[in-house]
Structure 1
């Protein structure tokens, strides 16, 4: 069975591109709407040649039924092939389904099971779901720790599902951030590739504010690692105790009690 590709019309996927949690909810929503085989169970006389069309129709319907809101994406699906040595018996009713834990996002697989036949077989077909949308693409290489300027990237359309890390689609979220590793021209900026600039180095004296119901206590401590605003850092207090807290924009370590 040769690989085939289908393209759905643009639809609005379920997420706010600026939030990792929204990204996760979007992928989960695509999975949740497609777990059951639904109305695509049908008779198949020659499974080797007929499973791909069934898969294409099921995926097209599943993506179309995804809840609508957020950033518009152009979806493409590439359907892989079964092992050509596999011989499947004719089946009166084949049902596609999304295996537990799978998502209709990136490289995945779709289950196809014979639920009415002389032999009730079950196979998995490799599938790649692509989601094309706006993103910022690097125009040159960026060294680890180097700050990102507006001229370092240009807006383009990329496959959001090519990697698991969310795309950074908002200009304000990456300008002024620094590269968390070596970045290469042509890469789309993703959350895992950038971080906030360090406000202090490892070993620096920092202010720790511990907050509880109706009170706050401040003390000095020594940062065990470098960190920037919004990151979690471990601090050794004067009494030797090690605490973890969130770095504020001012460099203070906020610890919840």
Structure 2
């Protein structure tokens, strides 16, 4: 799955060495740390949501709470950071560590980032293997970050696809729910086409792998050579020149 823009923006801030310095001469109470984490996070989210060419998403940040009984040693410099292996999309956490104090400490603030935007939601149940049509879903606002699989934001990405499993009303259409239509099975005779400026050639071959529309498939030519091409809706395989 591709990285989300929120994660990429935060990593740019981290590489730039963003360091929150404040007047933390006294022990930092949990509420203050939570606010520090929020203040560090908000500019990165604003930057990600303002990126040109992206879908119009509206961010909502839900900060978790540290133990109210927590008391930490005085610290002159507290650094917020994104823990390795985590991403800020859905449920995550922000690390806060003391880099200049009598005692070094490290705590984590839980955070949930919701990203609301337009998406296609099913209006009725759909059986596994059924071909989707546009009238089966309606456009509404959903939380894109509620599931790790990317949202299929435009009809071109799901209309004509088949469902990977049975779906229920109210489900948002995502990449893991659909598969391209099967054009032919492995072992089937397949026409292989290729062409360029002013010419076109075609030859019959035998499919080595299953062919799904828009995806790559392997075909053995009469010469014995195996080629890869893109499966077209007319059940042909097109080779790139």
Correspondence 1:21-32 to 2 at 5 A:
24=3, 26-32=5-11
Q: Which aligned pairs between 1:192-207 and structure 2 lie closer than 5 A?
A: 192-207=176-191
Q: 1:61 aligns with which of 25, 38, 43?
A: 43
Query: Within 5 A, what are the aligned runs for 1:81-230?
Result: 81-82=65-66, 88-209=72-193, 218-230=202-214
Deviations 1:146-186 (A, max 9, x none): 11122211111111112232212223432222212222221
Whether the 8 Å CA contact 2:192–2:204 is kept in 1: the answer is: yes
Cα separation, 1, equivalents of 2:6 and 2:190? 39
In structure 2, do the counterparts of structure 1 residues 195 and 166 end up closer, same or farther at CA, with 3 Å as the change threshold?
A: same
Aligned residues: 236
8 Å contact from structure 2 (residues 7, 89) kept in 1: no
User: Aligned-pair RMSD on alpha carbons?
Assistant: 3.2
Note if contact 2:97-2:104 (Cα within 8 Å) is conserved in structure 1.
yes
Q: Given the superposition, is the C-alpha separation of residues 28 and 157 from structure 1 closer, same or farther in structure 2, using an over 3 Å criterion?
A: same
Segments of structure 1 that go 5 or more residues without pairing to the other structure are: 1-19
Q: State the shift of 1:254 in Å.
A: 3.4
Structure whose CA Rg is larger: 2
User: In structure 2, do the counterparts of structure 1 residues 245 and 31 end up closer, same or farther at CA, with 3 Å as the change threshold?
Assistant: farther
CA distance in 1 between partners of 2:211 and 2:70 (Å): 54
Q: TM-score, normalised by structure 2?
A: 0.80
Per-residue deviation, 1:238: 4.8
Structure 2: runs of 5 or more not aligned: none
Q: CA deviation at 1:116?
A: 1.0
